[in-house]
Amino acid sequence: MAAWIKRQFGVTMSVRGISAMLKRMNISFTKATYTLAKADEQAQAFFRKYTFA
């Protein structure tokens, strides 16, 4: 998320700062802890390259 904020807005934020900001916005976040067994690797590669670039 920090990298996205830097790319989109040119602002550098710490993890703690982002966490505090999200808490003020009543948004909670967790890091994914599993991988889907039937995940489509090509679709994920497309997403990473074009959608979330």
Q: Which amino acid is at 50?
A: Y
pLDDT in tens, the chain (53 residues): 899 999 999 999 998 999 999 999 999 877 777 777 788 889 888 988 888 76
pTM of the full structure: 0.52
Residue 10, Ramachandran bin (φ over 0: left; ψ between -120 and 50: alpha; else beta)? left
Residue 27, Ramachandran bin (φ over 0: left; ψ between -120 and 50: alpha; else beta)? beta
Q: What is the DSSP letter of 26?
A: T
